[in-house]
Structure 1
Amino acid sequence: MKPEEFARALEKGDIGPLYYMYGDEPYLIERGVKRLLEQVVSPDFRDFNLNVFYGNECKGEEIFSAAQTLPMFSERRAILVKKSHELSAATLEVLTGYVQNPSPSTCLIFQGEKIDQRKKFFTEMKKTGELVEFKRPYENQLGPFIREEVKAYGKRIEPAAADLLAYMVGNNLQELASQIEKVATYSGKRESITVGDVKEIVSDTKVDTVFELADAFGEKNLSKALRTLYTILRDGEAPLLVLAMLSRHFRQLWRVRELLDRKIPTNEIGKAAGINPYFLKKVIEQARNYRTTELKGVFERLFDLDLALKTGGGKPAALMERLTMEVCGKR
């Protein structure tokens, strides 16, 4: 079952007896579990009808027994098993028996990071329950998430403001949701969130500093790039996250540079490259600072730096400084 199918089923009140929620996006998993629990058990009766287990601590018999217990003052009871990817083979074997014939008055929810569909437990789950995978969205898929989060605050968001938010924060959904909450609060009674709101609130975060670093690289402004880099490292930002932001920015510049070389009209470049008009002028100006051969060299350096950071090939600060000097300055 896809997340959107899961969401539609919840809206209809169509609740099954078994769910395994997993994937590489913990924020979406947590949100999905929360919404499911809200449908299954009233907060007033959770003391009677909700059991929470942890995969690295519980036994299969405990979960089995709780799942067979009848609900009190409610139509259903809920069993939530967190860290389900840490359930032992023996526990999964016990639970396979329950999964084959689940109680209709219980909603048993497994919450984990990954699954192995070769195991009998999961083959049986597919027959009687739902496997719901929550994948981390790509950056070009963040728009619907942002609009949905904003809608929860009773507001709308301008397309350019949503693009700016996605560009500055990236696809860390926990951080993105946090920033949306701040922006929604800042906008007060206004129904629409603007670019100005986003710039005013997100500008004080570490994310914005990385955003400034990417712009400094695009401008080939060595002094600004080094100054911003030192601020980022001082504040403890993870070098790999900084590298990911730079890689994203240069992919965009490379795409625009190719379009410029093909003499594509400026008003068509934004659409072809998937860039909001609000940012287009700046990106085009930065793309003109690089030839295609230069951009190829930048990506070779980014790849080398990624490898060095992951294998301990030097001190991160020195490696980042060297990259900055090579890209923005003279060798």
Structure 2
Amino acid sequence: MMKELDLILKNIKNKEVLPIYFFHGEEPYFIDVAVKALEHDFLEEDEKAFNQTVTYGKDTTYQEILSLARQFPMMGDKQVIIVKEAQDLKFNEEESKALDAYAENSVPSTVLVFAHKHKKLDSRKKVTKTLTKLNALFLSESLKDHTLPKWIADECLRLKIKTAPNISNLLAEYLGNDLSRISNELGKLKIILKEGQLLDGTIVENHIGISKEFNVFELQKALGSKNANAAFRIAYFMGKNPKNNPFVMLLSSLYNYFSNVIIYNTMIGQPQQVIASQMGINPYFIKDYAEAARLYPLKYSTRVISILREFDMKGKGLGAVNMDDAELIKELVYKIINVDKIKMKV
């Protein structure tokens, strides 16, 4: 998350901008949102031809960028320079000192924007401290898995999309933490939905291609209630469509799910609201975890985690000769359903 994002967008709209924006961090989505606003919403269209430059890190250098930044705008008050994929720029000690010197004495008529994705600036460098001191450094952090449904729900609220109770969780489980894809899909649904229409599983299935019956969210429900027939049926269809059901994502989702079952088991007797808060889930779903904890007490829910680790290794080709994802999914489901009967390797 980028905690300053709302303020940045508001200030751009009000034409109140900083001389430098250095966006960095693991999550590209929030960086893209901020940079898009600076690129499209600050200068007027007729100003952009003379006073807006967009370049990419692999095509330029810090020396070229800073030289351009020291020039003055043509027939306007501001010029905007945007460096996308700034993580591809050569950034050794010389470049670091040059950027630090510019940051300390930036040109007021220039808005210099760096989109440095997928990694953070080295906090030990002097330039990082300088940018922080000038309030010009903005960190874009990845969302934790347990906060993703809330982020989706907040986006739906912002877009004025009314949703059925489980939709944000369904989208989170299926789409993972690809925020750009989630945002695009919600944008499509916003166009499709009629005013006041509720976004439910059927609409999601029809327009995003998520099958309500055959996705990891429904597999969790089937495993959590030990509905073997449903679990094996879902596993079969998920195995037939590995592109939309990557094995590594399936393992991650099940790991999170059964980790929460363990948390529930260790907190039995405490208020449901407290347990839900500790698990990072909507209290609406707590009854499902109560049922799963009854069927997978602590002894067995911890054993499921061991099974998931075993299949993580198998998915990487260790101890599973010539097994494709479809076979791995079926065997995984069998072992979880029968966790109270199978013998575990010591």
The answer to whether the superposition gives a TM-score over 0.5 is yes
**What is the CA deviation profile of residues 9-67 of structure 1, one whole-angstrom value per residue up to 9, with x for unaligned ones?**
44244421111111121111111211233453234432222212222231223212221
Whether 2:248 is the aligned partner of 1:246: answer: no
The one-letter code of the counterpart of 1:8 is: L
SS of aligned partner of 1:53: strand
**What's the CA shift for 1:256?**
3.0
**What's the CA shift for 1:144?**
5.7
The one-letter code of the counterpart of 1:137 is: L
The aligned residue for residue 323 of structure 1 is: 332
SS of aligned partner of 2:113: strand
- From 106, 119, 125, the counterpart of 1:102: 106
Q: What is the aligned-residue RMSD (CA, Å)?
A: 3.2
Contact preservation (8 Å) 1:153, 1:184: yes
The aligned residue for residue 27 of structure 1 is: 29
CA spacing shift, 1:267–1:59, aligned 2, 3 Å: closer
CA spacing shift, 1:254–1:148, aligned 2, 3 Å: closer
- From 63, 66, 70, the counterpart of 1:64: 66
**What's the CA shift for 1:247?**
1.1
The one-letter code of the counterpart of 2:99 is: L
The aligned residue for residue 3 of structure 1 is: 2
SS of aligned partner of 1:4: coil
Q: Which runs of 5+ in 1 are unaligned?
A: none
The aligned residue for residue 174 of structure 1 is: 180
Worse-superposed segment, 242-251 or 56-65: 56-65
Contact preservation (8 Å) 1:179, 1:202: no
The one-letter code of the counterpart of 2:265 is: R
Cα distance in 2 for partners of 1:169, 1:39 equals 29
**What's the CA shift for 1:163?**
4.9
- From 127, 130, 152, the counterpart of 1:124: 130
The aligned residue for residue 134 of structure 1 is: 140
Contact preservation (8 Å) 1:40, 1:77: no
TM-score of the two chains, using structure 1 as the length reference: 0.82
Cα distance in 1 for partners of 2:128, 2:253 equals 37
Q: When you count helix as a share of all residues, which structure comes out higher?
A: 1
Contact preservation (8 Å) 2:56, 2:86: yes
CA spacing shift, 1:144–1:265, aligned 2, 3 Å: closer
Contact preservation (8 Å) 2:164, 2:200: no
Seq. identity, %: 28
The aligned residue for residue 210 of structure 2 is: 205
Cα distance in 1 for partners of 2:278, 2:57 equals 47
Whether 2:159 is the aligned partner of 1:153: answer: yes
SS of aligned partner of 1:56: helix
Cα distance in 1 for partners of 2:55, 2:179 equals 26
Cα distance in 2 for partners of 1:61, 1:272 equals 49
SS of aligned partner of 1:111: strand
TM-score of the two chains, using structure 2 as the length reference: 0.79
**What is the CA deviation profile of residues 268-324 of structure 1, one whole-angstrom value per residue up to 9, with x for unaligned ones?**
865665544543443333332212100010111222333443575544524443322
The one-letter code of the counterpart of 2:109 is: S
Cα distance in 2 for partners of 1:53, 1:92 equals 19
Worse-superposed segment, 126-135 or 106-115: 126-135
Contact preservation (8 Å) 1:16, 1:107: yes
Contact preservation (8 Å) 1:29, 1:111: yes
The aligned residue for residue 293 of structure 2 is: 287
Cα distance in 2 for partners of 1:129, 1:306 equals 42
Cα distance in 1 for partners of 2:62, 2:31 equals 23
Cα distance in 2 for partners of 1:143, 1:245 equals 13
Worse-superposed segment, 142-151 or 115-124: 142-151
The aligned residue for residue 77 of structure 1 is: 79
Alignment of 1:175-324 (within 5 A): 175-190=181-196, 194=198, 197-203=199-205, 204-205=209-210, 209-235=215-241, 236=243, 237-259=245-267, 262-264=268-270, 273=279, 275-276=281-282, 278-310=284-316, 314=320, 315=323, 317=325, 318-324=327-333
Whether 2:56 is the aligned partner of 1:47: answer: no
Contact preservation (8 Å) 1:254, 1:287: yes
Cα distance in 2 for partners of 1:273, 1:183 equals 29
The one-letter code of the counterpart of 1:111 is: A
Q: What is the aligned residue count?
A: 324
SS of aligned partner of 2:4: helix
Contact preservation (8 Å) 1:53, 1:63: no
**What is the CA deviation profile of residues 217-261 of structure 1, one whole-angstrom value per residue up to 9, with x for unaligned ones?**
2233344333323322332232111111111221232233344xx
- From 107, 111, 132, the counterpart of 2:115: 111
CA spacing shift, 1:93–1:229, aligned 2, 3 Å: farther
SS of aligned partner of 2:59: coil
